[in-house]
Amino acid sequence: MKFILLLTCSFLYMFSAFAHPPQKIDITQRDKVISVTVTHNVKDPATHYIKLIEVEVNGKKIINQEFSLQTGNVQKVTYLIPDLKNGDTLEVDADCNQFGDLKQQIQIK
């Protein structure tokens, strides 16, 4: 039993060394356009990448974009959100295809 537990822990440790969530999300806003840059440093962006970016405004999901690869060590997107207004809370969630996610939130000015 201890051997199986040790083997499982070793496997999880090895997996986590190679797979990791995004490191950073930068969100910029100009009028009703937001630009999102997700930093996700990987060795092979064709097999380890940001697979999903979701955008919520005031808790309501408005964008759900899937990807099948990543360009270099970042995933960049730009969205026009016609209903965006001052005081809105915008949240971006970026999911790695192998392990983990990261969320970032800003207040619209």
CB atoms within 10 A of CB 47: 11
- The CATH number of the structural domain formed by 20-107 is 2.60.40.730
Is there a contact between 94 and 106 (Cβ–Cβ < 8 Å)? no
Nearest to 69 by CA among 52, 81, 55: 52
Question: Which pLDDT belongs to residue 5?
Answer: 53
Question: Which pLDDT belongs to residue 2?
Answer: 64
Walk along the chain (109 residues) in steps of 10 and give the mean pLDDT of each run: 54 53 96 97 93 98 97 95 97 96 96
Question: Which pLDDT belongs to residue 20?
Answer: 84
Question: Which pLDDT belongs to residue 71?
Answer: 86
Per this entry, what is the length of the chain? Answer: 109
Backbone angles phi, psi at 10, to 5 degrees: -65, -45
pTM over 0.85: no
Question: Which pLDDT belongs to residue 19?
Answer: 73
